[in-house]
Structure 1
Amino acid sequence: MAEGLLIVGEDVCADVVSSKDAFDAVEAVFGAMARGDAYNFPVIREAIGYADALYGFKSGFDRAGKTLGVKSGGYWPGNMDKGLTNHQSTIFLFDPDTGMLQALVGGNYLTAVRTAASSSVSIAHLARPDAKVLGMVGAGHQSTFQLRAAAEQRNFEKVVAWNPHPEMLPRLAEVAEGLGLDFDAVSPEELGAEADVIITITSAFEPLLMKDWIKPGTHIACMGTDTKGKQELDPALLAAATVFTDEIAQSVSIGEAQHAIAAGLIAEADITPIGAVINGTHPGRRDAQEITLFDGTGVGLQDLAVASVAAQKAEQAGKATRAAL
């Protein structure tokens, strides 16, 4: 490899990493985690007491992919008013053989595309093959990525959506229509009654979907809960579902499962890493009536996997820059 630090900017990441690239990278790293070939380090995520921001670090090592690094960043809720995305992050990749810094990669686009890839992996492996209606709860920056990635996994015909701020829904409607899908803005109850697959991608701290609203056979990808206290679903819904996750330790501590665990409705042993389904050691969905649920907490290894792809593809395309550190 050439000398110097490889720098891959946000625009380059968006140019070289497709949703398919992200899907393949995330699916592979989930499989590696389940085999014990990759592991995440403990997450640091704190309210900094300024600008209402949450800031932290996610890191890990993928022995199979030879990827070592850390994502630093967080959530600044006032950024939208400044013309910026609320999630801001940067990914640092290190040489696992020497510890030297190899690459500095913009993390904003990659965070959105890897989060969408995570839910899309869960849809590919857990949703009913005949799923026709996609339900979207949330209409923020990441929701459009989620919608596009989900549409690649099933032959959806319609999108139903709800957002606490309905004025944000036209952006989702535009994406759905661009994909040739019908779009309806509905209530949460109507969404649960219609949707075969539901993606929740909000920053809520209270349940938005109740157990009794969800029909048998639904697959739910809960993607917004990644901090202690956050919540998108009725805890009783997790008790009624077969629960899968990216990483059990995060699911029970900062993921959606934290509330059902605290209420004694489920146990840690009731949660299965989705990597086990990917690797074929767990059957996944067992029948058409089963409610499956993916608790997508977001692990550092996802970020490192897509950042590694971005670095490789940017260098191959001659779109990255190098600098002495």
Structure 2
Amino acid sequence: MIVISEADARELLTMADAIQTMATAFRAIHAKHAVAFPLVREQISECNAVFGVKSGACIQDDTLGLKAGGYWASNSQKGLTNHQSSTVLFNPETGQPLAFVGANYLTALRTAAVAGLATDRLSRPESSVMGIIGAGTQAVFQIEAVLAVRPISKLIVASRTEESARRLSEQARLLGIQEVTIGSTVEAAEQADVLTTITPAREAVVELAAVRPGTHINAMGADTAGKQEIDSSLLRVARVFVDDWTQAAAVGECQHGVSHWKMTQGDLAGTLGGLAADAVPGRVTADDITIFDSTGMALQDLSVARVVVDRARQRGMGQEIVLESAS
């Protein structure tokens, strides 16, 4: 078994790599070559944490595994990253573990990469203004992903804390965005061609009245029952795409469409897999409001881990260990 450190993972996969890997993964999902097993996600109140396990397989690609981890809200006070994740890959024929991969960086990368893929398929090609609501660790990855597919020259940052907004603004300038301003959630929504929400909110931070025709929204924060960033009425008027309907209906933005106006899978415009496979239309008119409701899927984690493992072995990186000898 090979062990890949966080430092090695950072060296082995870029945002452009990750977006391409996500496209391949979601095409496999659409073709039903891949399967996601039931999601485990639980609150651990004693530790002020949320712990989850995402697992799945793409046997045609010899991929089987899981990612375990979650969010420990108190970690920052201990000098640690709040998000903690690790991925384990197995040999699908024998069940033997093949790799253990530090997945904090890869989780951030793959989360943003699906937003980059959705932005590429759904936003107007000339989109140049991005709004981002939320300025935590994941936010800079989201900006980088959108920059990889659209010529963003202006960014509006909205955050609950001025310190976080200023830090993200500086990071965005280093990424090459010419004009960066700090504004309200309404200003970010009103001005954006591409709007990304990446918050832990439990009530809408984006209202229908603030969103212009033609806007594309990446709704990235809702991944647990009760979380919400988007006014559920937006789901009625937009072309809505999901990574997985079952998850979106349970823990994504769509959970509020289900509860508020009986939203069903038939109300979707499609899935990210359908978009990646060119099997469903994305934006039909320039004035369409499009929404990508992301909840995160196991194959995202397994796919980026698989690429990293393959590259590590090609380059002589990582540490090989033996867990058991052949009998």
Aligned partner of 2:241 among 231, 240, 244: 244
Provide the rounded CA distance (Å) in 1 between the counterparts of 2:297 and 2:236.
Answer: 23
Provide the rounded CA distance (Å) in 2 between the counterparts of 1:177 and 1:65.
Answer: 39
Which segments of structure 1 move beyond 3 Å, counting only runs of 4 or more? none
Kept in 2: contact 1:148–1:175 (CA 8 A): no
Q: Is 1:126 the equivalent of 2:84? A: no
Deviations 1:78-116 (A, max 9, x none): 112222111101100001121110000001001000001
> What is aligned with 1:195?
192
Aligned partner of 1:163 among 148, 159, 177: 159
> What is aligned with 1:320?
318
Aligned partner of 1:29 among 25, 29, 39: 25
Q: Normalization by structure 1: what TM-score?
A: 0.97
Q: Normalization by structure 2: what TM-score?
A: 0.96
Give 1:251's aligned amino acid: A
Provide the rounded CA distance (Å) in 2 between the counterparts of 1:206 and 1:262.
Answer: 14
Q: Is 1:233 the equivalent of 2:240? A: no
Same amino acid, percent of matched pairs:
40
Deviations 1:206-233 (A, max 9, x none): 1111111000000000111111111111
Aligned partner of 1:98 among 94, 102, 107: 94
| Structure 1 residues without counterparts, runs of 5 or longer | none
Secondary structure at the counterpart of residue 183 of structure 1: strand
Provide the rounded CA distance (Å) in 2 between the counterparts of 1:316 and 1:9.
Answer: 16
> What is aligned with 1:51?
47
Provide the rounded CA distance (Å) in 2 between the counterparts of 1:207 and 1:293.
Answer: 14
Give 1:307's aligned amino acid: A
Aligned partner of 1:298 among 296, 299, 303: 296
Provide the rounded CA distance (Å) in 1 between the counterparts of 2:271 and 2:97.
Answer: 31
- Which residues in structure 2 correspond to 1:70-219 (within 5 Å)? 70-181=66-177, 182-219=179-216
Secondary structure at the counterpart of residue 181 of structure 2: strand
Provide the rounded CA distance (Å) in 2 between the counterparts of 1:147 and 1:240.
Answer: 26
Q: Is 1:256 the equivalent of 2:261? A: no
Provide the rounded CA distance (Å) in 1 between the counterparts of 2:221 and 2:173.
Answer: 24
Give 2:218's aligned amino acid: A
Provide the rounded CA distance (Å) in 1 between the counterparts of 2:284 and 2:220.
Answer: 23
Secondary structure at the counterpart of residue 263 of structure 1: helix
Deviation at residue 40 of structure 1 after TM alignment? 0.6
Give 1:287's aligned amino acid: T
Q: How many residues align?
A: 321
Kept in 2: contact 1:189–1:213 (CA 8 A): yes
Provide the rounded CA distance (Å) in 1 between the counterparts of 2:145 and 2:129.
Answer: 14
Provide the rounded CA distance (Å) in 2 between the counterparts of 1:155 and 1:28.
Answer: 24
Query: More deviation in 315-324 or 291-300?
Result: 315-324
